A and B are shown apart, each in its own frame.
Chain A
Amino acid sequence: MKLGLACDGGPPPAALLDLLGTAGLPVTAAVGAGPPVLIQAEGDAWALAPGVDVLTACLHGALDVAVVGKDLLLERQPELFELLDLRVDLDHLVYAGVADSSRGEPSRPRVATPYPGCTWRYFAAAGRQVEPIVFRVAALAPALGLADGVVDLQSRVEAEAPDLVVREEIAACSLRLVAGRAARTLCAGRLEDLVERLRAALEGS
């Protein structure tokens, strides 16, 4: 089976490799490997690549399964099946703003975010309006006077802009196991086994 691991700027997290190893996957070759790379391991192939690329490859059937962050799934809403919450890289997608809120919340805040789609949908679902602007390191935007707030992962907000205050939690995020639509039919048996073993590994840990 061809497996993709989303790695945005660094090797896959050790906790993920531990989990996959416990589930009986040949992780040795992936330890310490940096993306982008394609590893052949015991008849399987592992692709380590940026999350968006992993999603695209999965969507086109070039990868059967992938491990990607829920944040990316929320943003892209790809036509893939989310099979399992791997409970690694636990984080929250949050809406954060500057601590001084004497101005009050604007009626249509401008929000800097790497997740414009997600931001739009979150505000729209609550009947609120928002102007999402795409900013890769969102935390800098309020400091520049560019945005009223940011939508980003809590860990990134805390690391990059500790002076911002988390106002709302949008969604819990963690790494998820996803499968392409074709894989679900064409590799059904092996997919079932994989989910079964991963679930057992999760329950054991």
Chain B
Amino acid sequence: MSPSPWTGRARVDDRVILRVGAKILIPFILIFALYVQFHGDYGPGGGFQAGVIFAAAFVLYALVFGLGNAIKVLPPKAAYFCGAFGVLLFVGVGYASMALGGEFLNYSVLAHDPTHGQHYGIIGVELGVLITVFGVMVALFYAFAGRRRLDR
């Protein structure tokens, strides 16, 4: 079934290596992004790196399976929502600390003792950063890749 270059017809089987490879890799990329996010406290990592790696999985999916399929998986509106929601989450953590009696972004008041409060605050804040960076990177990719070309 392998197509010969001389027949001139492109078959779907051409890309079987790419498709299978991407199918195997994408879940691992997503899990690695979550690993980087949650181990940012203990080693290099954190919200920004994790958000970019998370978005890279979706970019790989769009490159291998086509932009139309990627848009079915993650509509652009969902990406825009994620971009906005992360900032809201970040500022929301700050407002929660104000509601509990402390100053803006003073995480110590978020739990029964300051150390746990700081930990919860940092987790929430890094989650906000992850969601925003993921949404923005995917939105940027969609904006550039989905632009109609001026074929002259």
Are both chains from one complex?
Answer: no
Q: Which residues of B contact A (CB under 8 A)?
A: none
Taking Cβ atoms with an 8 Å cutoff, the residues of A that contact B are none
